Every structure is written in C-alpha cells, then in structure tokens.
Amino acid sequence: MKHKQAFKDKVAIVTGSSMGIGKATAKLLGEQGAKVVLNGRTAERLEQTAANMKSIGLDVLAVQADMSKVDDCKKLIDETIKYYGRLDILINNAGMSSRGYFEELDPKVFQDMMNINFLGCVFPTRFAIPHLKESKGSVVFISSVAGIRGLPETIMYCASKMALTSIAESLKVELAEYHIHVGIVYVGITQNDEGKKVIGKDGKLVLLESREDRKAQNPEDVAKSIVKNIKKRKFKSILTLLGKVNFFANILIPRIVDRILIRAKGRINQMNK
C-alpha cells in the first residue's frame, strides 16, 4: 500500500504522454496515487489514452497542447492549476527523433528539432517553476544516451538532447535554494508504439520501424527508472549498460570512441531505421 501511495495527492504533468514512455510513466504515477495531467498534440489519441486510464480508476486530466508553442505550454500549466490547484511534478518527455546526415538536412529540420526537443522542454518549465517553488516539487527532463555523445545521422536529435543537460545543470544551481528537485534521465533504445514517426531529412515525417526484434527496453521499465529518479530526487540517471559505457568511455577514452563510431557508421545507419 505504501508503494502504491508514494505520490498520493501529488499533481504530475507528463508531456507527450499519449503514447510510449510518457504514457507508461503517467500510468505508473497514477497507480501510485498521483493526479496526472496527460498531454499530446493529437486529440483522438490523447482522449483514448485518458479514457483507458480513467477506466482503471486513475485520476487524469487530458490537455491537448503542442510543446513547441509558447502559448500551448502556458495553457498546459494554467489548465493544470485551474483543475487541480497545484503542481508537484513536471516531466518533460515530449520529443521526436530525426534522421539524415547534416549536409542532407533541410534547414527546417534544424528548427523543428530544437523547437520540439529543446524549447518544448524549456517553455513548460518556465511556466511551471513558480508553482514548483510552492510545492518544492520536481522537474525532470527526458534525454537520451544519444545526448551524451553525438552520433552520425541523428545529429539534430543528439544536439537537442545534449542541450537539455545544460538546462538541467543550470537549473539545479538556480533552484537549489527553493528545494526544487531537478532531474535528467538518459534513456536508451526503447520499443516504440506502432505508428511512431520521426522527422526525415526533408522535414517530412517518416514511419519508424518496429524494434521488437532488437535489444530495446520496454516503456514500462523506462517509466520505473523515471519514477525512481523522482522518488530519490536524483540528478542524473543513465539507463542501460550501453548508456553507462557510452558515458564513461566518452570521458575516459574519447579518441577511441571516435574511431569506433567512424567504423560503425553503417551499423548505426541500420539501427536507426
């Protein structure tokens, strides 16, 4: 019972929570007593997710909003406060990957990736901080092991996820006196929902192949790690063995890492499909 009520009466926003990691995290928080605000850009999918969670007794509010737009981010925070009256946890999960070598990318891809993955975390955090000061709550950024070391063909995804580390590190210092927990979780390769898309080199959406036949984490396991980060008020959480190896190797033997990646470009290309 204690485990199930770990977040009793806490109010949590999970951006990008109509599918994948966000959905699994929102569900787990709800099961442990939190009132959860779901968010997504697609109304139909968002409402279906909300209906499913309400059917098992979870207390959820669905807010359709695009995190790459300032006004939508303010709307998400405002509607949360209006409905629940407080905010304890903000999980910046909404994001999208991209594909294509740097010289092939349409300039629109640069803008879209930073708007979605970077500013899509910055904007909601900016509006959430006054409320998190009151609750001494948590703000968590969902990054990627690709945000530890730049990789070929996913260059803008890596760049936008790396930028989150700077935000998290700065906020940890700025908000320390307010006792706000700042966390960042570096997620590894994760199984994707059917129909998940990424941004192609021309800026158009491309269907991502299933990862069921790969050594990928399932969203539920990732959700457990995210929730654990919040419970322990931990700063950095690096998931998977590969992620940890990537982190330490990049510090200790960066030149060797360069050589390995140069030789592995073809294999990385296949993994990105």
Cα 129 from chain centre: 18
pLDDT value of residue 256: 81
* Residue 268 to residue 273: CA distance in whole angstroms: 9
Query: What pTM, to 2 d.p., does this model score?
Result: 0.90
247 within 8 A of 148, measured Cβ to Cβ? yes
Options 3.40.50.720, 3.90.1150.10, 3.40.190.10, 3.20.20.70; CATH for 11-271 is 3.40.50.720
3-state secondary structure of 211: coil
pLDDT of amino acid 112: 95
- Give me the catalytic one of 83, 157, 178, 186: 157
Token pair 């990385």 is at which residue? 268
The per-residue DSSP string of 104-117 comes to G--HHHHHHHIIII
The confidence score (pLDDT) of residue 123 equals: 98
Instruction: Identify the segments of the chain with pLDDT beneath 70.
Output: 1-3, 195, 210-215, 262, 264-273
Question: What does the pLDDT read at residue 2?
Answer: 47
Domain boundaries, the chain: 11-271
pLDDT given at position 266: 57
Give residue 201's pLDDT.
Answer: 92
Rounded Cα gap, residues 137 and 200, in angstroms: 37
What pLDDT shows up at residue 270? 52
Say which residue the tokens 């995210």 belong to: 226
Tokens 């995190």: give the residue: 67
Exposed, middle or buried: residue 149 (CB in 10 Å: 0-12, 13-18, 19+)?
Answer: middle
Is 157 one of the annotated active-site residues of the chain?
A: yes
Q: What pLDDT score was predicted for residue 1?
A: 41
Name the residue among 4, 50, 47, 49 with its Cα closest to residue 29.
4
Say whether 180 sits in a helix, a strand or coil.
coil
